[in-house]
Chain A
Amino acid sequence: MQTAGPVAADAPAGAPDRPGPSNHLTPADQAALLRAMLLMRAIEARALTLYRQGRVPGSFYDGFGQEAVSVGAAFAMGPRDRLCPLHRDLGAHLVRGVEPVRILAQYMGRESGVTGGRDGNVHFGDASLGVVGMVSMLPDMMCVATGMAMAFKLRGEQRVALTWFGDGATSRGDFHEAMNWAGVQRLPVVFVLENNQYAYSTPLGKQFAVDPVERARVYGFPGVTVDGNDAEAVFEAVRIARERALAGEGPTLVEAVTMRMHGHAAHDDMRYVPPALLAAWAQRDPIERQERRMAALGVDVAALRAEIDAVVEAAAAEALAAPMPDPATAAEGVFAVGEAQPLGDGRAPWSWFASDPAADRAVPTGSAANGNGAGRGTAR
């Protein structure tokens, strides 16, 4: 079993951290990781309050305590890579460039939300930023990511697909079919297994007999375990997996070990989780860890928090004022008309992409500049 650098979970709680596990992150990158995680947590906290005030219809899911898994992994992806995040991976959307106001509007079912009210909570993906939104059937998106990687390989492109899925999802057939397919065709795909110990109320012991990361070998590629609460460790593991993929060495399964600190959804009080387990994991909060690193580098973490809070507060106010979708449009858009537009390129804030001439560079993308119209809401 390979690991990507020292597993920072060994660090005693409260002690200053060792230097981060990756040699490829500048201090600005490290700060960007923290910033993205703070933003994810702040948005989700604000949304949870809105949910309890009855302003978020349906259910509410968050990735509290798991921010490093989505932020760290997404950070390693280039602009032309493609992502399939899941419901606790809000950080991936933020790294790729979705603005907080659109996310909060999405939760509240507003017309200016990423799906315009067509789907709820984290079931969204801005196609113009290279992200495919999830379906509820898990892990269907593993097959989709595999297919994207298949196309990249067929066309000889230096691009990678990445998808997240949970421990529970590995029990379903699509996990096997995607892993098998990716392995037999040696595809440039990174499978990130978010092992957060529970699938709703089902603990790992009832989910599988053999840890999924062990099974990767059987499909013909490596499985790697990494501390899911260390954003830089997750980043490093995915960075290495991406390099492997680009070199034609095929897929990697990266198991990010973490803990789901909130219930399955806001309506779940997780009484089935032993409080001692939660308490132990609370000591290893990924944001607090990164804050300690940044503080050690002289970054004003409190100011950063305040800045993020202000951003989220402003976004919430704007989203709250946004109108609901027009009911007359409810049956529109079932079928595409005209030429099918593929996914667009997303933001890739890792400094290496900007500095390395060989790195894939993105045509400037994002809502205003991207005229190809792929994805909902790009013209807003």
Chain B
Amino acid sequence: MPQLGVSVVEGTVVAWSLAVGDEVAADQSLCEIDTDKIVTDIPSPAAGTLTEILVPVGETVEVGTVLARIAVDASAAGQAQLRAGPESAPPTRAHAGPSAGARASSSPPARSTSVQDAAAPPALSASMPVAPGPRYSPVVQRIAAEHGVNLSLVAGTGRGGRVRKQDVLAVAAAYEPRNADRSLHTETPYRPEDEPEPAGQLSRMRRAIGAHMKRSLDTAATCTTWMEADMSRVEAARRRAKASALLGVTALPIVARCAIEALAEHPALNATLEGERYTRHDAVHLGVAVSLGEDGLIVPVIRDAQTLSVEQLGLAIRDLARRARSGGLAPDDVRGGTFTVTNPGQFGSLMATPVINQPQVAILDLEAIVKRPIVVSSDDGTDDDMIAIRPQTILGLSWDHRALDGAQAAQFLAAVRRRLEHWDVRG
């Protein structure tokens, strides 16, 4: 059924001039078609024998429908079909190139279909809480990715506290990466020793750390709560484990494990607060402070730490520390934490007031484990008290009073202590 006019979509067969089996010449009238405009006859596209009539008189078909078949030659392979459309034309020939003369050939500029030609897309922070709507503009994300800036550390000066381009640029400028893929984030106040500095000037890295400390203290309503814990069982477990090469030689993985379990009971401490946005997290992405010697501290993050056993935590901490000291951390390794643990007690300090790692709401500080005389009650229920020597440590928890109160902080610490003091010596 040919297209007999721009607006024609169908036609009705009015009459067939030939019958099946008849010989037909090229251009001889085959049939009459009625469109809504005109009745017209259809000339045969080829000479041959009419072998099939597919549309009877009175039937209406759409343009493109095969109406009939003609055998062009008894021995020929193909058959001519009466149908519409330029598909009977030879296929397109590739453009032969500009012909001689002034004819213009101004093809439209090749357009990249998406933004791949722009800078590499920002590595969307895995710590980005699931909040509705974009929180960082595309350029801010891109700059953060390029410079390894943890956006959660960047205070925004834009409307409603949003992080503007100049804010992230300022932070990026303050950092001096050690090498191309190194990013440094520091939050704890402790330094083993200071870098040697030219007189009267802090290094850029110092200044960056200082800026973060200051910002955290300016942002959070920082309070610190302490609780003493009896580490006898933990120390016993460590002595046992020393034999096996798996556990690290510090108590940190055990404390971390206890803290993670305590967070499950006290989810208010596994949360982030950014401006007005407060989010509690199901997973515990545990930041662990790692000393870098002269270069300061860095806090890589163990993701989904709640799924790891003590041994696995120990391995993860050791691995992160190793990578941190060799400059092998990626930007993703240092962002997205929901709770941080710091352990500077190796030098003998007993208590501290750690600074919260923004935008988290709490940080747990593990200081030195020191043997002390303590008062223990006898087991038989009498009032007899005795003095015993026990390895003790003072757990410090700095927390943000905007998101928590003292009772919650104390309850959390109590839960950590309880687990430590009932630690299964067998591990």
Contacts and interface: CB of A to CB of B under 8 A. Distances in A.
A108 B45 contact: no
B89 A336 contact: no
A267 B92 contact: no
B85 to A, nearest CB: 6
B101 interface: yes
Interface stretch (B36-44, B229-237, B366-374): B36-44
Interface in B34-68: 35, 37-43, 45
A325 interface: yes
B27 interface: yes
B104 A267 contact: no
Most A Cβ at <10 Å: residue of B3, B8, B90, B103: B103
A268 B38 contact: yes
Interface stretch (B105-113, B176-184, B273-281, B303-311): B105-113
B104 A379 contact: no
B93 A326 contact: yes
Contact of B100 (A323, A331, A379): A379
B51 to A, nearest CB: 18
Nearest to B43: A49
B33 to A, nearest CB: 9
Interface in B263-307: none
A373 B100 contact: yes
Contact of B103 (A268, A331, A373): A373
A334 B101 contact: no
A374 B99 CA distance: 11
Contact of A323 (B2, B27, B41, B92): B92
A199 interface: no
A55 B5 contact: no
Given A57-B86, A59-B6, A373 B91 contact: no
Nearest to A331: B108
Contacts of B108: 331
Contacts of A171: none
A354 B84 CA distance: 47
Interface residues of B, number: 40
A338 interface: yes
B88 interface: yes
Nearest to A324: B92
Contacts of B89: 55, 108, 110, 320, 323-324
Interface string A312-327: 0000000011111111
A332 B107 contact: yes
A195 interface: no
A267 B105 contact: no
Q: Give the size category of A's interface with B.
A: 35 or more
A266 interface: yes
A248 interface: no
A181 B38 CA distance: 42
Contact of A378 (B5, B6, B82, B99): B99
B9 to A, nearest CB: 12
Contact of B86 (A108, A267, A336): A108
A233 to B, nearest CB: 33
Given A49-B43, A109-B86, A267-B35, A329 B95 contact: yes
Contacts of A337: 102, 104-106
Contacts of A57: 3, 86
B83 interface: yes
B90 A323 contact: yes
Interface string B91-134: 11111000111111111100000000000000000000000000
Interface in A84-131: 108-111
A111 B95 CA distance: 9
Given A109-B86, A267-B4, A374 B102 contact: yes
Contacts of B8: 267
A83 B43 CA distance: 35
Contacts of B85: 54
Interface in B218-234: none
A379 B3 contact: no
Contacts of B82: 53
A268 B102 CA distance: 40
B5 A53 contact: no
Most B Cβ at <10 Å: residue of A324, A371, A377: A324
A339 B47 CA distance: 51
Interface in B372-387: none
Contact of A267 (B5, B27, B84, B93): B5
A376 interface: yes
A327 B90 contact: no
A70 B266 CA distance: 96
A108 B85 CA distance: 11
Contacts of B4: 51-52, 266-267
A372 B103 CA distance: 10
Interface in A225-241: none
Contacts of A325: 92
A137 interface: no
A331 B107 contact: yes
A66 to B, nearest CB: 20
B6 A376 contact: no
Most B Cβ at <10 Å: residue of A57, A267, A325, A338: A267
Interface in A48-73: 49, 51-55, 57-59
A332 B42 contact: no
A206 interface: no
Contact of A335 (B27, B84, B104): B104
B102 A336 contact: yes
A329 B108 CA distance: 10
B95 A54 contact: no
B100 A267 contact: no
A358 to B, nearest CB: 32
A372 B102 contact: yes
Given A267-B6, A332-B106, A373-B99, A54 B84 contact: yes
A374 B93 contact: no
A341 interface: yes
Nearest to B106: A335
B43 A53 contact: yes
Given A269-B37, A320-B89, A52 B42 contact: yes
A59 B5 contact: yes
B4 to A, nearest CB: 6
A326 B2 contact: no
A209 interface: no
A49 B91 contact: no
Contacts of B107: 329, 331-332
B95 A376 contact: no
Contacts of A341: 101-102
Contacts of A380: 99
Contact of A322 (B45, B90, B104): B90
A373 B105 CA distance: 13
Contacts of B35: 267
Contacts of A322: 90
9 contacts: A52-B41, A53-B42, A323-B92, A324-B90, A324-B92, A332-B104, A332-B107, A333-B106, A337-B102
Given A269-B38, A333-B103, 17 more contacts: A52-B42, A54-B84, A55-B86, A55-B89, A58-B6, A109-B86, A266-B5, A267-B7, A324-B93, A326-B93, A332-B105, A333-B105, A335-B104, A337-B106, A341-B102, A371-B100, A378-B99
